[in-house]
Amino acid sequence: MADNDYMALLDRAKEVLPETIENHERFELPELDILQEGKTTVFRNFIDVTDKLRRGPQHLLQFLLKELGTPGNIEGRRVVFKAKISSLTINEKIQTYTETYVICSECGLPDTKIVKEDRTLILECEACGARRSINVRKASKSDSQNIIRVGDIIEILISDVGKKGDGMGKCMDYIVVVPGTARGNTVRVKITNLSGKTAFGLVTAEPATR
Ligand SMILES: [Zn+2]
């Protein structure tokens, strides 16, 4: 087929395609604009996110601070966390928040509001009328202090070597596996993966987050 025939075909294909493929597209958050500045993490479009979710900035902020176990403040339209936190981790927390406090589990739309009945929080959908109680995972203080999360940066002593030659150390009640380290090394490790009480990480030059 000649080139211009092909181009003509392509033009025609574009004409017959609907302009927007779907009207009821899945709810999507704005892309999070997060950057690390020294020992802090700046979430630059925080208010854009709470606007889109139609939730109070303080509500989301308190959720994030508790989940991330770090102090932080709203400054203008931004939030500044007083620790280095990966944007992946923040993304995951916002997903959890959205699923817990915003998205209707019946119709999947975010057009909901939180109402309080007795002591129960109910998520009420303005689009389809569905109601569900909000099940807040209660992380007790001791829990959040004793949990390693992906993205955490910890300092450990490599006290052992596994069968495959990877260095291993202990942190709280976790075994942390760190390839490329030797017994006796003290290393800073960024956690990349978790499986039960086994954590996997890589040596990093970034400062420890906990
Ligand atoms: Zn609904």
**Residue 100 C-alpha to ligand 1 middle, in angstroms?**
14
CA–CA separation, 63 vs 68, rounded Å?
Answer: 8
**Residue 133 C-alpha to ligand 1 middle, in angstroms?**
13
**Residue 125 C-alpha to ligand 1 middle, in angstroms?**
5
Cα dihedral sign, 146-149-151-156: positive
**Residue 96 C-alpha to ligand 1 middle, in angstroms?**
18
pLDDT at 140 over 50: no
**Residue 112 C-alpha to ligand 1 middle, in angstroms?**
7
Identify whether the C-beta of residue 166 lies closer than 8 Å to the C-beta of residue 179: yes
CA–CA separation, 36 vs 42, rounded Å?
Answer: 6
Q: For 206, which DSSP code?
A: S
pLDDT at 101 over 90: yes
**Residue 31 C-alpha to ligand 1 middle, in angstroms?**
24
CATH fold of 34-142: Defensin A-like (3.30.30)
Task: Give the percent of the chain with pLDDT over 70.
Answer: 87
Nearest to 153 by CA among 84, 92, 80, 68: 84
Nearest to 49 by CA among 34, 68, 70, 65: 34
Cα dihedral sign, 149-27-71-136: negative
CA–CA separation, 142 vs 189, rounded Å?
Answer: 22
117 bridge partner residues: 120
Burial level of 166, CB count in 10 A (0-12/13-18/19+)? middle
* Architecture of the 147-203 domain: Beta Barrel (2.40)
pTM: 0.56
**Residue 7 C-alpha to ligand 1 middle, in angstroms?**
44
Burial level of 79, CB count in 10 A (0-12/13-18/19+)? buried
Give the model confidence (pLDDT) of 42-54 as tens digits: 999 999 999 999 9
Nearest to 187 by CA among 209, 202, 172: 202
Give the model confidence (pLDDT) of 165-209 as tens digits: 999 999 988 999 999 999 999 999 999 999 888 999 999 988 887
**Residue 127 C-alpha to ligand 1 middle, in angstroms?**
5
**Residue 101 C-alpha to ligand 1 middle, in angstroms?**
13
**Residue 118 C-alpha to ligand 1 middle, in angstroms?**
22
Q: Where are the domains of the chain?
A: 34-142, 147-203
Sequential DSSP letters for 12-32? HHHHHS-SSS-SSPPP-PPPP
**Residue 115 C-alpha to ligand 1 middle, in angstroms?**
15
